[in-house]
Amino acid sequence: MIEIKNLLKSYKVGGSELHVLKGINFNIEEGELVAIMGSSGSGKSTLLNIIGILDEADSGEYILDKIPVKNLNETIASKYRNQFLGFVFQSFNLINYKSALENVAMPLYYQGIKRKERNEIAMSYLEKVGLSSHSHHLPSELSGGQKQRVAIARAMASNPKVLLADEPTGALDTATSYEVMELIQGINDEGKTILIVTHEPDIAAMCKRNVILKDGIIIDDKYIEQVRASSYV
Ligand code: ADP
Ligand code: MG
């Protein structure tokens, strides 16, 4: 599903170059649930943003579902993002003045789907995350865990090939984090390929594979015995 070869990325900071990714190599198959781990500043978000076509590597190869991602103009990049990728962020990134339902329906608008069908699809995803009774609530009327559920429903509504989540539990307490991980595990059980960035070992343990980044290189990459979040909830 994802093939990455020799990815390099640096930023110009002041007069000098900050080498953030120093030769990243890994592949992700369909149906995997991968945690990218590493301490703050190790390059996790930079890597996820490149995979999410929000940023571009300086060199190397990135192939997403057999399509080489390189030198895309913004129109094509946003088309691929819409078509292939769902995003979940630590800070939820919901639109404050729109209801839960409208937030979930948003990406479908960009796919040209008509309002009635948009709302039907959005409602079915709110149901999947257990929030159909909160469809008319504004984000300010939802708890942190509920906001993240809405964000996950929004990411799933366009049926992406890959779900990308940058510290999805970073703003949540432990119990709520495990509830969100239970939802993410359930989505993965249905076959969705999911990539999570986290620096929390208990969250990484709930994935099937741990890729450890340190100072821009992968220092470990292993399949693990997945801990079920439901054993805590
Ligand atoms: P992580 O997500 O693992 O905490 P990041 O990928 O966000 O790490 O950042 C890795 C390094 O790159 C950090 O030192 C950060 O300060 C730097 N960095 C990230 N984005 C930029 C940018 N746009 N410009 C300059 N430096 C950046
Ligand atoms: Mg980060």
What is the tens place of the pLDDT at every residue in 101-127?
Answer: 999 999 898 888 999 999 999 999 999
Residue 153 has pLDDT above 80, yes or no: yes
**Crossing angle for the helix pair 174-189 and 144-157, nearest 10 degrees?**
20
Where does ligand 1 bind, in terms of residues with CB under 6 Å?
Answer: 11, 13, 18, 20, 38, 40-46
Candidates 22, 37, 45, 211: which one to mutate for ligand 1, based on the most atoms within 8 Å of Cβ?
45
b/e sequence 181-195, b meaning 16+ C-beta within 10 Å: bbbbbebbeeebbbb
- Region 180-196 average pLDDT: 96
| Distance from C-alpha of 155 to C-alpha of 89, rounded to nearest angstrom | 10
pLDDT digits (tens, 9 = 90+) for 12-37: 998 999 999 999 999 999 999 999 99
Atom of ligand 1 nearest to the CA of 43: 6
pLDDT value of position 83: 87
Atom of ligand 1 nearest to the CA of 49: 6
Candidates 12, 18, 199, 217: which one to mutate for ligand 1, based on the most atoms within 8 Å of Cβ?
18
Ligand 2 centre from 114 Cα, in Å?
36
